[in-house]
Amino acid sequence: MIKWGAIISQSETQLIEIARKCRVDIVEMIHKAGAGHPGGSLSAIDFIVGLYGTEFRFNIENPNWEDRDRFIMSKGHASPAVYSMLHQLGVISKSDIDSFRTLGSICQGHVDMKWTAGVDFSAGSLGMGLSFGLGCALAARMDSSQRNIWVMIGDGETQEGQIWEAAMAANFHKVGNLNVVIDRNRIQNDDFMEVQMEIGDIGEKFRSFGWKVLEIDGHNMTEIIDSINEASNNQNEPYAIVAHTIKGKGVSFMENNPSFHGKAPSDDELIIALEELS
């Protein structure tokens, strides 16, 4: 079990190993459920591990600690990534993730703060998480709290107008404890974004809204940690980290494959995936 504080002392190599274990959790729980969203969970997991392994203030013995940092998974269908991290931290058990998407499980298809310890946002319709995160950031300011707010959104999700309302408001209110991570894997529900509705230079869009922007390789742990450290230690302006990722990262037949946005691996595909992740 990794306790809060202990994970911070893990080396970069150890964090990469935690991410590998999370990937195993992701493909196994989705296979067992026969449904779920592997592609965007696998693209997001490296950043999530890097976040919990560096600056993120979280106490596994008290997941509802009021002064904790907040992680808001706005693209809530990537719940397996969140559950796998919480499992590796010891907040939820193997039996919990094995019950993914079953009636009464604490691991529902979309993250839900009413069901799962360590989850800070109940997701459903896309586009709401950044507004929610803005509210959390403003509340922290009113409480004179040092907590940082982290919101992960999908790049397809930036097609939602509410994202830009929140981005405009965050700049206006100079909310420096708000950070957004864009999982830029370039695939959304049905196809590649260039086919569906390309968003263009997402970094420049956030810059035009007054945000400080960093662009990183979302699978390079060094770049991930450096970006998190910079954003966490600069409270003067909101940060947008554009994490360029590969949908389905780590499993060859899922990588850059739109069909695995929301499809479980078959029995034979699970064997291949686990061999590749071993």
CB 151 within 8 A of CB 69: no
**Does residue 42 have a pLDDT over 70?**
yes
In tens, the pLDDT along 48-71 reads 999 998 889 988 888 889 999 999
Instruction: State the CATH number of the domain containing residue 202.
Output: 3.40.50.970
Q: Is residue 1 a part of any domain in this protein? A: no
Q: Is residue 131 a part of any domain in this protein? A: yes
Q: Is residue 147 a part of any domain in this protein? A: yes
Q: Is residue 98 a part of any domain in this protein? A: yes
Based on the structure, what is the number of domains in the chain?
1
Q: Edge-to-edge strands of the sheet including 212-217?
A: 70-73, 149-154, 178-184, 239-244, 212-217
| DSSP-H helix ranges across the chain | 12-33, 38-52, 79-89, 94-98, 129-142, 161-172, 193-196, 202-208, 221-232, 267-276
Q: Is residue 2 a part of any domain in this protein? A: no
Q: What is the pTM of this model?
A: 0.95
- pLDDT value, residue 4: 46
> By three-state DSSP, how is residue 8 classified?
helix
Range of the domain at 69: 7-276
Q: Is residue 21 a part of any domain in this protein? A: yes
Q: Is residue 19 a part of any domain in this protein? A: yes
In tens, the pLDDT along 139-160 reads 999 999 999 999 999 999 999 9
Q: Phi then psi for 187, rounded to 5 degrees?
A: -130, 135
Q: Is residue 266 a part of any domain in this protein? A: yes
